[in-house]
Amino acid sequence: MTISVFDKVSRHPCLPLILLSASVMSCSGGSTPSQKLTIMQSSVSLGDPHICSDSMNRLNLVFSVYDALVQRDDEGRYQPSLAESWAVDEDSRTWTFTLRRDVKFHNGDILASGDVIATMGRVLDPSIGGSFGTQGVYLSYLEHAEFLAIDDLTVQIVTEFPMADLLDLLVAMPISPESELHRLPDQYVGTGRYRVKELTESRTILEANDAYWGIAPEYQELHWIAEPSSEKRTDALLSGDADVVTRISVRDKERIEKDGGAQAFELESGLCIIFMCNALDGVGTDRRVRQALNYALDVEEIIDEIKDGAATPLNGFLTPHHFGYNPATPAYPYDPEKARALLADAGYADGMHLVLDIPSTMPNEAPALAEMMAEQYSRVGISVEVVVHEDRAAYSEMVREKKINDACCFDSSPRSTYRVLREKLMSTLEGPWWEGYENLQVNALIEKAERTFVESEREEIYRQIYDLIRDDAPWIFLYRPTDSWGISSTVTGWQPRSDGLLRF
């Protein structure tokens, strides 16, 4: 007997808000896949498709070539992909996925349960590594899970403990044919709308997969070109050398709007720019200090100065794109008097010294951000020392090893609320980005949510957690950036997806 059944359309309301939808692009003048679409973004490397990474540039390419068992639609809700249906047994641990029939990989192999099992084995292989400290993240969830091929089209996953948000993980795991896994990451074979035709450091060309199992590809070829400069990407769009440009600056968005020859789109992203406080050692162990660090910042002023207004203040550790986000939760207001009172109550009436770690990139505004925060903190008697780290990968490892000073700049990118909680905030796990925060009630609620398969009930649990974490202030909550795209006038019917991915 099953307690939950997901058939054709998932009942997982990942988003509480109605967002912009429709990602299918069409070129005026035809519907057959005979056109070339040129997309410019800052990098075009596929890398290893099975590492844990939230890089939008990379995921744009990976999920053009590959499919996962499940996918998110344009509004962020879970839908069938290679699995046409799934169910959860009453033990709350056994998930059964029924695969689509006659799905072909790019090499002609027919999708079978053995491909899924083999892929999962590679995803969880510790030797595969990670991106900026993400090695072992998936293994921390599924190390003791069982992956069973019941028959050619039926896969069972039996988790060690109830895991109501398992789909949050599976949506990011692209399926490869078992016969080709040994060729990764040099050869890419998936079931996606496009297959790899040419791959260099500066250009990736994908060609249409005419045997695709779902909606046919709109274009014969996708040309992905690497261009680090937003200005040069925009120049290419306005000159007709690019059809789509991503992650453009406010200034370049305004250039497009003024020119009138192309369209500019924007979407408030699901990325959180924050500072994680060291709650293991030093001033950040005191809840009052962490709260003061939030009250002492004028986030609106920071957004205007650092982001040219292209961001929205956070009211907690999630965005409206996340399941369980609470729109009723108040953001920390700018209240320097409240900050001074909290600092005095914590024993810092005569001032406090704060050491901030920042990377030189990712987020690129980190140096300017730290400088402005230092100025604002000085208004309440906090002197700030900034330590800049040039090696971004080493910075991630330092954070993972919990060797930060008082607080460190970070970009929290997973769209999974479950992942954010387990990897950053649950003290019983001490995950890769956990920096010492502990709240026993939060831990208990996370465990309760894992066992709660009724979506509305789990959402309410996450909202309770949301308010508790906002009040405890383990992070300095700053903003979520606004993403902008430029789209050629020859491309019609396009709107950004809620997850920011480009899917053609």
* In the chain, where the domains are located: 2-220, 272-481
Question: Rg (Cα) of the chain, in Å, rounded?
Answer: 23
Architecture per CATH, 272-481: Roll (3.10)
Q: Quote the CA–CA distance of 382 and 339 in Å, as a whole number.
A: 10
Residue with tokens 């997806």: 497
Look at residue 377 and tell me whether its pLDDT is greater than 70: yes
**What b/e readout covers 181-217, taking b as 16+ CB neighbours within 10 angstroms?**
beebeeebbbbbbbbbeebeeeebbbbbbeebbeeeb
In 240-351, DSSP assigns E strands to 244-245, 262-268, 272-277, 311-313
Q: Mean pLDDT for the chain?
A: 93
What length does the chain have? 504
pLDDT above 90 covers what percent of the chain?
Answer: 90
Look at residue 44 and tell me whether its pLDDT is greater than 50: yes
Report the pLDDT value the prediction gives residue 14, as an integer from 0 to 100: 35
Report the pLDDT value the prediction gives residue 33, as an integer from 0 to 100: 61
Number of Cβ within 10 Å of residue 440's Cβ equals 9
Q: Hey, what are 27's tokens?
A: 């070129």
Give me the phi and psi of 356, to 5 degrees please. Answer: -105, 130
Where helices occur in 66-143 by DSSP H, the ranges are 113-123, 137-142
pLDDT digits (tens, 9 = 90+) for 467-478: 999 999 999 999
Q: Hey, what are 192's tokens?
A: 């996606």
pLDDT digits (tens, 9 = 90+) for 217-232: 999 999 999 999 999 9
β-pair partners for 94 = 158
pLDDT digits (tens, 9 = 90+) for 15-36: 322 222 223 333 333 446 659 9
Inter-residue contact 407 to 384 (CB < 8 Å): no
Q: Which of 4-13, 293-302, 319-328 is least confident? A: 4-13
Question: Right CATH number for 2-220 from 3.40.47.10, 3.40.50.970, 3.90.76.10, 3.30.565.10?
Answer: 3.90.76.10
pLDDT band at 411 (very low <50, low <70, confident <90, very high): very high
